[in-house]
Amino acid sequence: MKIAEAFAVQDYGVVVTGGASGLGLGFAEGLAENGARVTILDVDAQRVAEETESLRGKGLDVRGEVLDVTDHVALDKAIDSAAAAYGRLDVVFANAGIDSGPGFLGSWVGSVRPRRTEGALENYTDERWNRVIDINLNGAFATLRAGARHMKPRKSGRMIVTTSLAALLVEPAIGSAYMAAKAGLAHLARSVALELAAYNITVNSIAPGFFITNIGGGHAKNPEVQRTLARTIPMHRVGFAEDIKGLALFLASPASAYITGQQIVIDGGWGLGAAD
């Protein structure tokens, strides 16, 4: 097989949850740029309309639908609709997620990281915890479940979930609900990978480090925040959506046919520690 054929996703039917911004938009655009037919699912109606129109303006085959992944009935219908529109469902990105607010430590102030009362365990409300778990973990579970219903009969498919470096490392600045959800999602992906391997369906995770997204209210878009974090990343820069397109294409394409149950970190070396 030629390399170009190994990465071919022409006419693939693809669904991306949380696809109207950030990494989800990068996944959607990257696959559409390579000939896939992509459905963006997102709770933000304005961004769905804007990004769908923008991608179509580039000649890409993209459709959009507004929904909340906590509504599993609507999610099932949307994925059924995408599969019907394309006559197939080849790839599902379970990407939708939110942050969980501050952790128990703040950013460094000199040699000290101040404690934050709003991130303390005793101040964590049920509402805050449950909302993060419901979107980040339960929403991904429902997405994989809906995808399996279409992929198993065809004995073919790719499922890709967005976890985080926070699924592997404890970072006190990040709320514990986010870390718990992403770690749970990583293990769920491994479990589903084992179950679906006999059906030629692969299930893998992408674990990003610090990327420019809307997580945390767009905090990552602040140039000063980016400069501060870049000093702690061995490659001395933060990640952008363009950086993740190649990995997404690899995991969605025939090139990754013999890889399943894996979590691939993409973080510029951040998880390795400081280099200088």
**The pLDDT of residue 50:** 98
Q: What is the pLDDT of residues 77-100, one digit of tens each?
A: 999 999 999 999 999 999 999 999
Domains defined along the chain, listed by start: 3-267 (3.40.50.720)
Is 124 designated active site?
Answer: no
Residue 219's pLDDT is 61
Mean pLDDT of the region 163-186 = 94
Closest CA to 234 of 213, 215, 209: 209
Q: What is the pTM of this model?
A: 0.94
Given a contact cutoff of 8 angstroms between Cβ atoms, the answer to whether 153 and 166 are in contact is no
Predicted local confidence at residue 118, as pLDDT: 92
Catalytic pick among 86, 124, 178, 199 = 178
From the list 223, 214, 265, 271, the residue with the least C-alpha distance to 244 is: 265
DSSP letters spanning 170-226: --TTB-HHHHHHHHHHHHHHHHHHHHHGGGTEEEEEEEE-SB-SSTTTTGGG-HHHH
**Residue 203 — pLDDT band, cuts 50, 70, 90?**
very high
pLDDT in tens, 218-265: 566 777 777 877 888 899 999 999 999 999 999 999 999 999 999 999
Residue that wins the pLDDT comparison between 94 and 173: 94
122-136, 185-199, 200-214, 250-264: segment of lowest average pLDDT: 200-214
Q: What is the pLDDT of residues 139-165, one digit of tens each?
A: 999 999 999 999 999 999 999 999 999
